[in-house]
Amino acid sequence: MNHFYEGYVVPVHLPVDAFAGMLRTDGVDLTQSYVALEDEEPVAMGLIARRDKISRLAAFAVDIKLRGKGIGKWFLGELLDEAKDRKDREMVLEVITTNDSAVKLYERSGFARKERLVGYGFSASAEEPMGDNSPIAGLHEADMADLVAAILASGLEWPWQMSAETLAQMAWPNRAWQYESGYVCTSDLAKSVVLIRGLAGDENDLAGLMTALLKQFPGRSWRLLPVMPEGIYSGLFERLGFYTDKLSQWKMGVPFLSR
């Protein structure tokens, strides 16, 4: 996979274990995913995730030496035709907003922009050592199923990577945390950079939850990748002192007429 993303707008270096985890949590269907060959050499890759009658283009890339030669347009057309033949209702994807060539390809293929996805970050202080402090009153580890239930109860339409279905597939070292009505899913807290994978609940309770996590697990940087719908909980991250990620993505989709 890393080979196909050479020269991409952001560096992509995904370890094998992280790639395997992405396949599992995102619901990638390897029977409907393809590597395109030319003279028996791989030239493009398309990974398709599926849930019910919705497909997601989870990864799509063309060899750097062959970009701009029409391979991407042809290959994407093949993947869309297969989705129609499966009688899918829609195909969705995310693309970095500054990746102009990819955005144009998707729009020419029928995709429309649905919403902007943003990310946030918090940088650890260089003077603050990484460690684990005593438990903070009110903060406790929860079952991932409780977080999933809170997300479903929110009534919000979350992007694929933050959806209840994705979070239901999370396993250790990902962990769910609760403070009052607030829930957050974190990645491995033994690492210096912690990812916020999902959240739900009252904004004030979430502020209390994140404040408690920052105190109990100091010396770490925190990231929420640009998969958060713009405007949702934006005030939460501002009041916590998080910065807004420079990168953002378009969530795009193309509906299929039922046949």
Looking at the fold, whether 196 and 109 belong to one and the same domain comes out as no
pTM (2 d.p.)? 0.92
Looking at the fold, whether 59 and 152 belong to one and the same domain comes out as no
**CA end-to-end span of the chain, whole Å?**
34
Distance CA 4, CA 12 (A): 9
Looking at the fold, whether 82 and 146 belong to one and the same domain comes out as no
> How far does Cα 71 stand from its chain's mean position?
26
Looking at the fold, whether 134 and 213 belong to one and the same domain comes out as yes
Looking at the fold, whether 38 and 111 belong to one and the same domain comes out as yes
For residue 108, the domain's CATH number is 3.40.630.30
User: CA nearest 163: which of 257, 59, 54?
Assistant: 54
Q: What are the tens digits of pLDDT across the range 100-141?
A: 999 999 999 999 999 999 999 999 887 788 888 888 999 999
Looking at the fold, whether 147 and 228 belong to one and the same domain comes out as yes
Looking at the fold, whether 72 and 131 belong to one and the same domain comes out as no
* Encoded tokens for 133: 């402090």
User: CA nearest 74: which of 53, 60, 91?
Assistant: 60
Structural domain span for residue 163: 119-244
Distance CA 171, CA 177 (A): 13
Please report which confidence band the pLDDT of residue 6 belongs to, taking 50, 70 and 90 as the band edges.
low
Better-scored residue on pLDDT, 91 or 18: 91
Distance CA 232, CA 117 (A): 10
| Number of domains composing the chain | 2
Residue entry with tokens 């619901």: 27
Looking at the fold, whether 112 and 194 belong to one and the same domain comes out as no
Q: What are the tens digits of pLDDT across the range 181-222?
A: 999 999 999 999 999 999 999 999 999 999 999 999 999 999
Q: What is the residue type of 21?
A: G
Looking at the fold, whether 60 and 134 belong to one and the same domain comes out as no
Question: 183 near 200, Cβ under 8 Å?
Answer: yes
Continuous H helices in 26-127: 71-85, 100-108
Please report which confidence band the pLDDT of residue 4 belongs to, taking 50, 70 and 90 as the band edges.
low
**Residue 163: is its pLDDT beyond 90?**
yes
